[in-house]
Amino acid sequence: MRTTVQDVMTTDVTAVEQNASFHTVAEQLVEHGVSGLPVVDEAYHVKGVVSEADLLAKQEFKTRYYGDAYRPPLRARIRHAVSSEGSGFYKALGETAGELMTSPAHVTTPGTSVVVAARIMDQHGVKRLPVVDTDGKLVGIITRRDLIKVFLRPDKDIERQVRQAIHAGRGGVTGLEVTVTGGVVTLSGTFDEHSKAITAVRMAESIDGVVAVHDELHWRHDDIINFPMWGGA
């Protein structure tokens, strides 16, 4: 069974409404020790996310109002232009969560696999994803730290799942040995065919919590066809 967002998400999540003041947002971030908060409407639908970076934009651009013609370095300007943070200058003018937040928010659902959630975070350059139900209402939040929990699975659980996956694939293996240490899987044994040995390794690699797979497998028949390259000797 694959690990889903529901398995690792935080359900006791703090959120703020769109009309929450700048001070309230800052207070909630500090009090709860988090770097970002979902922003919701009256019905608890997620409208956006407000982060520490959104609030810090005000401090970053504050000197403009005191005669200091501050201009962010090129790298920072590019980040503001292309990332999910949006324009730091306009966020520096914000006074409420609705004006400070990044919207629309990138969200996920409880049944989504942690692999897909990690890809969403990477694709959009975000550190957290609000988790919503079928009506779009907030039910939790998942962060990068939550995703790391997958790699803390007990070795015995991983070993059992690897064995089940390989045997379910009817690989025709004899003398199968599976050892797991710190999430690193070592496979040994003999398969009838080379392709089945390759499949066994792929199965082990796909299991949640596996850090790496050391392949020490053998096979009786090499059924992998190596086609010659065009123009080869």
- In a domain? residue 23: yes
Q: Left if phi > 0, otherwise alpha if psi is -120 to 50, otherwise beta: which for 182?
A: left
- In a domain? residue 233: no
Q: What average pLDDT does range 198-220 have in this prediction?
A: 94
Considering the domain architecture, whether residues 193 and 127 belong to the same structural domain is answered as no
Mean pLDDT over each residue of the chain, to the nearest integer: 85
The answer, yes or no, to whether residue 229 has pLDDT greater than 90, is no
- In a domain? residue 166: yes
Tell me which residue range forms the domain holding 199: 153-221
pTM of the model: 0.72
Angle at 11 between CA 206 and CA 35, to 5 degrees: 85
Which of 132, 150, 168 represents a domain boundary (last residue)?
150
CB 15 within 8 A of CB 37: yes
Considering the domain architecture, whether residues 142 and 180 belong to the same structural domain is answered as no
pLDDT tens, residue by residue, 89-132: 566 677 899 999 989 999 999 999 998 999 999 999 899 999 99
- In a domain? residue 230: no
Considering the domain architecture, whether residues 15 and 114 belong to the same structural domain is answered as yes
- In a domain? residue 129: yes
Considering the domain architecture, whether residues 91 and 63 belong to the same structural domain is answered as yes
CB 123 within 8 A of CB 108: no
Q: Is the dihedral of CA 53, 55, 59, 62 positive or negative?
A: positive
The answer, yes or no, to whether residue 197 has pLDDT greater than 80, is yes
> Looking at per-residue confidence, does 79 or 130 come out higher?
130
- In a domain? residue 231: no
Considering the domain architecture, whether residues 121 and 13 belong to the same structural domain is answered as yes
Considering the domain architecture, whether residues 45 and 63 belong to the same structural domain is answered as yes
- In a domain? residue 55: yes
The answer, yes or no, to whether residue 88 has pLDDT greater than 60, is no
Considering the domain architecture, whether residues 11 and 93 belong to the same structural domain is answered as yes
Question: How many domains does one find in the chain?
Answer: 2
Considering the domain architecture, whether residues 117 and 145 belong to the same structural domain is answered as yes
What is the structure's pLDDT at 57? 72
The answer, yes or no, to whether residue 66 has pLDDT greater than 60, is no
CB 189 within 8 A of CB 173: yes
Residue 192: strand pairing partners: none
Confidence of residue 59 (pLDDT cuts 50, 70, 90): low
What is the structure's pLDDT at 227? 55
3-state secondary structure the chain: CCCEHHHHCECCCCCEECCCEHHHHHHHHHHHCCCEEEEECCCCEEEEEEEHHHHHHHHHHHHHHHCCCCCCCHHHHHHHHHCCCCCHHHHHCCCEHHHHCECCCCCECCCCEHHHHHHHHHHHCCCEEEEECCCCEEEEEEEHHHHHHHHHCCHHHHHHHHHHHHHHCCCCEEEEEEEEECCEEEEEEEEEEHHHHHHHHHHHHCCCCCCEEEEEEEEEECCCCCCCCCCCC
- In a domain? residue 118: yes
CA distance 85 to 125: 9
CA distance 94 to 100: 5
Q: What is the CATH number for 180?
A: 3.30.1340.30
Considering the domain architecture, whether residues 12 and 119 belong to the same structural domain is answered as yes
CA distance 160 to 174: 17
Helix axes 155-168, 194-205, angle to 10 degrees: 140
Residue at token pair 């390794």 = 201
User: What percent of the chain shows pLDDT beyond 90?
Assistant: 67
What is the structure's pLDDT at 233? 46
Which of 122, 150, 178 represents a domain boundary (last residue)?
150
Which of 125, 150, 175 represents a domain boundary (last residue)?
150
Considering the domain architecture, whether residues 22 and 131 belong to the same structural domain is answered as yes
> Looking at per-residue confidence, does 169 or 67 come out higher?
169
The answer, yes or no, to whether residue 220 has pLDDT greater than 80, is yes
Considering the domain architecture, whether residues 184 and 146 belong to the same structural domain is answered as no
